[in-house]
Structure 1
Amino acid sequence: MNALNKYHYDGTNYIYGTAGFRMKAELLLCVMYRVGLVAALRSVYYQGKCVGVMITASHNSEEDNGVKIVDPLGDMLEQEWENALTKIANTPDELLKQTIIDFVIEKKIGINQFTPSIAIGHDSRKSSILLSSAVKDGISIFKANIYDYGLLTTPQLITRDICGADYVKLHQQPPRGMLLKEGDRCASIDGDADRILYFYINKNQKFCLLDGDKIAVLLSGFLKDIVKDLHMENISVGLIQTAYANGNSTAYAKNILEIPVICTSTGVKYLHQKAKEYDIGVYFESNGHGTVLFSERLKKTIKTFELSSLSTFQQEKLNVLRNIIELTNETVGDALSDCLLVESILFLRGFSLEDWNNLYDDLPNRQCKVSNRNCITTTDAERVCRTPHGLQEAINAVVKNYTSGRSFVRPSGTENVVRVYAEAATEKEADELAKEVCELVKKFTEKI
């Protein structure tokens, strides 16, 4: 591991989470080398299957950067490997070799049995090429096959300012410079095309957003109807959401569609894992990031159907289900595949965007940021604040003053901020509730 001469660990605290490693680019050379080591080991663990490494901080500003490891099927790292990567990233230089050896032994990784294969890409930040070189130095320790794809699809403009799914979602308005008229059917994806949102202008010239919650309800309701039509009573359908899901979407899924709804922590890796517990697991974050998972049991079941035992109507439904499965990209996010799914279901339902939007009315909601995430810890899928002590009780007391009020706070996984979410029956109340909770966060964190 002679390349370590170039990449000394300086005591920086690195944490690998849902967003991978993210921080100022000048702090990342050492950790990039170690990510290369772990990516190679991950490939060997999968008997030489190709593992991806993407160098990007997604929507962060240019001076930031980051990196993620992607499993052969497009999944994120499992929690156990995240923890191991965090440990390796924070290991002093003189202990790194032994730490790697211990990890190889613990995981029974046959480093002499398989040649690792790594696909690597980077975004357009000035720092990305240098960081990519550090990753490749780490990978090369294991004499891996490296497929360097160079510059890949990432935002060249910060999507929070000029365009993209983030802007549309947070600002509840079309991308800057886009002229909308009644009847336009619009969709917006983010820079790396793993999220999608729909929007339109109604006859009253109101901007109407159809976000990940709307997509999840559309897909899960449609798929449940097909299961019902085919009398597959043993096939389970579930909807997975986060605390950011609009309260009315959850109520609609539970009470109208009668579909079980599970809430997980923020981050598609948590939703993806929970969705695997169902034969048809639909998951979407409200920001438009998600997909549908279909179990092997379901796929085997539909192969065994005797067409002669089905009515013409049921044969059509079976064919639709097969086509939906083929159309779906079951990795953690593919905006183009999701777009085709939505368009197919809208066509089969005979829905306009307005028909779809009218399935339920969103509760007005707001998202805000407050400095200093280190003071905040949460539980119950991030819906309950554990520390600072007394903050959750204060939030509960404020929420009671608002019709259909709900609010939670959580430390950001990508920035040094506390994220505040608030929803209520009216726009005015949502604004006021968000403001009150932000003030509470400031009050309680200033004491620490």
Structure 2
Amino acid sequence: MGRLFGTDGVRGRANDGLTAELALDLSVAAAHVLGETGELGRNPVALVGRDPRASGEFLEAAVVAGLASAGVDVVRLGVVPTPGVAWLVGHRGADLGVMLSASHNPMPDNGIKFFARGGAKLDDRLEDAIEARMGEAWQRPIGADVGRITEDLEPVEEYIAHLVTSLGADGEDAISLAGLTIVVDGANGAAYRTAPGSLEVQGATVIPIHCSPDGLNINDNCGSTHLGDLQAAVLEHSADLGIAVDGDADRCLCVDAAGNVVDGDQILAVLALAMKDAGTLAHDTVVATVMSNLGFLNAMRDAGITVKQAKVGDRYVLEEMKAGGYVLGGEQSGHVIQSRYATTGDGVLTALHLAARMATTGKSLAELAGVVQRLPQVLINVADVDKSRAASDPAVTAAVSRVTAELGDTGRVLLRPSGTEDLVRVMVEAATEQRAREIGDQLAAVVRGALAK
């Protein structure tokens, strides 16, 4: 059996690979590992949130039961974004947090993400410790020592107030977004109230779409992975920009007034330049990943900003940020971490600061994002292969070396096993999309043949 934890928690098809039994066992093990950091003389405290998926209802019940049975007091938060759970864990001094969500994955999937005290995602060491504790015999608390379960199903206003405060000394003095018309695609997910509400409270005119979750429609042709409706709505309403979060709102992608997509690299560049201008970009450095477009790297170099590249996954970005004392990092997919205000990627926080940059400069999103001249990039997912051999197979490594030499400074190649799915991702950047596609197809064929199961 492989490692249970993936790039972002434990994820799988709900009630199939990810069962109530597994959720209960995981939560008991997590209680034993993470609850040990709690204060003596009281039960550890856990905050549990979820996105609107129907399966989140029974998985939440299993997680809550497991935690309480292990002597943890549980506060159910209901539907709230992942970064909201992370922030609330730190803000309220809880000992751990749990978020039930499969992020941008389709509705039948779900996932379990844990946060340690302070609201940080778990490192590999803690995840391995939780896996090691699963199935172990343990002494069950009885009587008054069992955990108690309470509800706080209205944490959204508290979270919105925190987000708005990040734009200024306090909510009332924060940067006004009046005059901006913004279309918000909530992905029928966890931020269906938070995303439009945060922008509205600062004066923006907000047009919400896909902000009516029913438990089944999360990420269904909407949100940050399906931008067509957002593009159409921005043009229909002559909006200044559109923002789209994913199902748990830890990422954000945007659309400019002409309907053009603004990706995570461009968003990260806009925020990095804003912070450099303000003198708040620590060490004039931003953390990105190996997937960042070469155009982003060039733009940052020209602006005198150093780029540190981490493995794909916002927790690896955060680890690099912590190690170097950096305050801004992110991924092309739209995860952006501003560590002054958040311990994880926060799509709504990102949208607020992007809109604030537009408001303070008077520039359009297209003008701001234009600092990044993206190279055409092709990403091909090769399924049904042995992804564990992607970095060691001689035929694959030889093909990558050959293409890398051919491209030189005009592009690059990256092969990466997916952390959440059973496939290998082939990424190619080149001077033209046709050239990138040709090389991508060649490499995908080599991967498919050499790594066939």
* TM bucket normalised to smaller: 0.5 to 0.7
Which of 346, 368, 377 is matched with 1:365 structurally?
A: 377
State the alpha-carbon separation in 1 of the partners of residues 388 and 144 from structure 2: 39
Whether 2:304 is the aligned partner of 1:245: answer no
Alpha-carbon distance between aligned partners in 2 of 1:222 and 1:397, rounded to the nearest angstrom: 39
Stretch deviating more after TM superposition (278-287 or 409-418): 278-287
Query: Quick one: structure 1 residues 52 and 146, their matched pair in 2 at CA, closer, same or farther if it must change by over 3 Å?
Result: farther
Compute the displacement of 1:58 (Å). Answer: 2.8
C-alpha deviation, 1:167, in angstroms: 2.1
C-alpha displacement of 1:407? 1.8
Cα pair distance change 1:160/1:392, threshold 3 Å:
farther
Aligned mates of 1:369, 1:439 — CA distance in 2: 11
- Residue among 16, 19, 22 paired with 1:26: 16
Bigger relative contact order (CA 8 A; separation at least 6): 2
Among residues 61, 77, 97, which one is paired with 1:52 in the alignment?
97
Q: How does 1:21-420 map to 2 (within 5 A)?
A: 21-24=10-13, 25-27=15-17, 28-41=19-32, 42-47=34-39, 48=44, 49-89=94-134, 93=135, 96-97=136-137, 143-147=146-150, 153=190, 156=215, 161-168=220-227, 173-175=228-230, 178=233, 180=235, 184-200=240-256, 202=258, 207-227=259-279, 236-253=283-300, 255-294=301-340, 329-372=341-384, 374-377=386-389, 386-402=391-407, 404-420=410-426
Q: Is the 8 A contact 2:219 2:246 kept in 1?
A: no
Instruction: Say if 1:376 and 1:388, in contact at 8 Å, map to a contact too.
Output: no
The question of whether the paired residues in 2 share the 8 Å contact of 1:280 and 1:292 is answered with no
Judging changes above 3 Å, is the alpha-carbon distance between structure 1 residues 223 and 330 closer, same or farther for their aligned structure 2 residues? same
Amino acid at match of 2:35: S
For residue 54 of structure 2, what is the aligned residue in structure 1?
A: none
Letter in 2 for 1:82: E
Per-residue CA distance 1:391-432 (angstroms, 9 max, x = gap): 122023134445823221212121111122122111222222
Residues 321-347 of structure 1: CA distance to partner in whole angstroms, max 9, x if unpaired?
xxxxxxxx3220222221111122222
Letter in 2 for 1:352: S
Describe the superposition over 1:291-315 as per-residue Cα deviations: whole angstroms up to 9, x where unpaired.
Answer: 2224xxxxxxxxxxxxxxxxxxxxx
TM (norm. structure 2) is 0.66
Q: Distance in 1 between matches of 2:260 and 2:234?
A: 14
Contact kept, 8 Å, 1:15 with 1:21, in 2: the verdict is: yes
Separation (CA, whole Å) in 1 of partners of 2:262 and 2:385: 30
CA distance in 1, matches of 2:143, 2:257: 53
Partner of 1:132: none
Contact 2:12–2:109 (CA<8 Å) still a contact in 1?
A: yes
Counterpart CA distance in 2 for 1:178 and 1:436 is 38
Deviation per residue, 1:316-373 (Å, 9 max, x gap)? xxxxxxxxxxxxx322022222111112222223321121122121111122211135
Cα shift at 1:14: 4.8
Structure 1 residue matching 2:112: 3-state secondary structure:
strand
Larger Rg: 1
Contact 1:159 1:165 in 2 (8 A): no
Residue 414 and residue 227 in structure 1: after superposition, are their counterparts in 2 closer, same or farther (change >3 A)? same
1:334 partner amino acid: D
Contact 2:396 2:450 in 1 (8 A): yes
Matching residue's letter, 2:447:
V
Aligned residue for 2:410, secondary structure, equals coil
Q: Post-superposition shift, 1:80?
A: 0.8
The whole-number CA distance in structure 2 between the counterparts of 1:179 and 1:394 is 43
Report % sequence identity. 25
Question: Are 1:240 and 1:283, in contact at CA under 8 Å, matched by a contact in 2?
Answer: yes
Measured after TM superposition, the shift of residue 267 of structure 1 is: 0.8
Deviation at 1:208, TM superposition (A): 2.1
CA distance in 2, matches of 1:79, 1:276: 15
**Secondary structure of 1:250's aligned partner:** helix
Q: Is the 8 A contact 2:289 2:311 kept in 1?
A: yes
Distance in 2, matches of 1:187 and 1:37, equals: 38
Which stretch of structure 1 is more off in the superposition, 208-217 or 394-403?
Answer: 394-403
Q: TM-score normalized by structure 1?
A: 0.67
Contact in 2 for aligned 1:23/1:64 (Cα 8 Å): yes
Equivalent residue of 1:387, what SS?
coil
Q: Does 1:422 align with 2:414?
A: no
Question: In structure 2, how many angstroms separate the alpha carbons of the residues matched to 1:226 and 1:367?
Answer: 35
SS at match of 2:394: coil
- The structure-2 alpha-carbon separation of the partners of 1:65 and 1:192, relative to structure 1 and needing over 3 Å to count, comes to closer
Q: CA deviation at 1:32?
A: 1.5
Does 141-150 or 416-425 show the bigger shift?
Answer: 141-150
Q: Is the 8 A contact 1:399 1:433 kept in 2?
A: no
- The RMSD of aligned alpha carbons is 3.2
Give the letter aligned to residue 16 of structure 2: E
Task: State the 1:264 CA deviation.
Answer: 0.9
Counterpart CA distance in 2 for 1:437 and 1:46 is 50
CA distance in 2, matches of 1:390, 1:142: 59
Give the Cα separation in 2 of the matches to 1:264 and 1:273.
Answer: 9
Distance 1:145 1:79, change over 3 A: farther
Residue 183 (structure 1) shift: 6.0
Does the 8 Å CA contact 2:289/2:331 hold for their aligned counterparts?
yes
**CA separation of 1:240 and 1:50: change in aligned 2, threshold 3 A:** same
